[in-house]
Amino acid sequence: TTFWCVVPAAGRGARMGADCPKQYLPLAGKPLIAHTLERLAAHPRVAGLMVVLGENDAHWPGTATLHGKPVRTAIGGAERSDSVLAGLHALPPEVGDADFVLVHDAARPCVREADIARLVERAAQADGGLLGAPLRDTLKRAGEGGRSLATEPREQRWRAFTPQMFRRGELAAALHAVARDGRAVSDEAMAMELAGFRPLLVEGAEDNIKVTTAADLALAEFLLARTA
């Protein structure tokens, strides 16, 4: 089985603070997003890409196919969850409500082939899941003046990555509920948790970084070759 992948790319990259959205910054000779889409399209389990763009995006090159797979676009919204919802709605009719779809940040160009394969394998058995990794550092609760108030247990704490994989209809309903209730969610899994699901955490490589700052760009350039 193959799955469509929704790629939210409608953010403005405020924390990067560059002249253009971070997904279009040059990385190893091409725009950052080109690396991300290349890896996804090359994956045998990916059927097609639904790239969600910002309104008036002047940078999108108009790619229609990659590795022989269709690349479609939709227009995103103010929050990442709005963008993902728009992408889900715009998927071609061949994608049913009960079909699984992947969601992967445009800003994560270093995702590994084997991690996508493992997520797809395991999450489909578990009604959905996400890549992540157990926390390795000691975790502090910060208080006034940047003082450490307490040390939080590290056990059972995971960092959440993408791709995340859920059934299209269930994810759309969960994101609708979030929008209706005016709640903010930071990933698809959080919307699913609020809807009562228990997404499977699938351990993935920590070098699947989300490029957020200028330092991350340099790190991503270093990691690209090593994670191929």
Residue numbers at the binding site for ligand CTP (CB under 6 A) = 8-15, 21-23, 52, 76-80, 83, 105-107, 210, 212
Q: How far is the CB of 140 from ligand CTP (least distance, A)?
A: 23
SS3 207: coil
Residue number with CB closer to Mg ion (11 or 204): 11
Q: How far is the CB of 139 from ligand CTP (least distance, A)?
A: 21
DSSP 8-state assignment for residue 30 = E
Q: How far is the CB of 135 from Mg ion (least distance, A)?
A: 21
Residue number with CB closer to ligand CTP (53 or 200): 53
Number of chain residues interacting with Mg ion (CB under 5 A): 1
The torsion region of residue 175 among left (phi > 0), alpha (psi -120 to 50) and beta comes to alpha
Residue number with CB closer to Mg ion (11 or 132): 11
Residue pointed to by tokens 């998927």: 91
Q: Decide which of ligand CTP, Mg ion, none touches 8; Cβ closer than 5 to 8 Å per partner kind.
A: ligand CTP
Q: Which residue is nearest to Mg ion (CB)?
A: 11
**Amino acid at position 131, single letter:** L
Residues of this chain, 5-24, that bind Mg ion according to CB under 5 A: 11
Q: How far is the CB of 132 from Mg ion (least distance, A)?
A: 18
Q: Which residue is nearest to ligand CTP (CB)?
A: 11
Q: Decide which of ligand CTP, Mg ion, none touches 15; Cβ closer than 5 to 8 Å per partner kind.
A: ligand CTP
Main-chain phi, psi angles of 132, to 5 degrees: -170, -175
Q: How far is the CB of 11 from Mg ion (least distance, A)?
A: 5
Q: What is the C-alpha to C-alpha distance for residues 22 and 18, in angstroms, rounded to an integer? A: 7
**Taking the CA of residue 86 as centre, how many other CA atoms within 13 Å lie in the half-sphere pointing to its CB?**
21
Residue number with CB closer to ligand CTP (61 or 96): 61
Beta strands in the chain (DSSP E): 3-9, 26-27, 30-31, 46-53, 65-66, 69-75, 100-103, 129-134, 139-142, 148-152, 158-167, 200-203
168 neighbors 95 (Cβ within 8 angstroms) = yes
Q: Decide which of ligand CTP, Mg ion, none touches 53; Cβ closer than 5 to 8 Å per partner kind.
A: none
Residue number with CB closer to ligand CTP (14 or 154): 14
Q: What is the C-alpha to C-alpha distance for residues 73 and 63, in angstroms, rounded to an integer? A: 9
Q: How far is the CB of 42 from ligand CTP (least distance, A)?
A: 19
**Amino acid at position 224, single letter:** L
Residues that bind Mg ion (CB under 5 A): 11
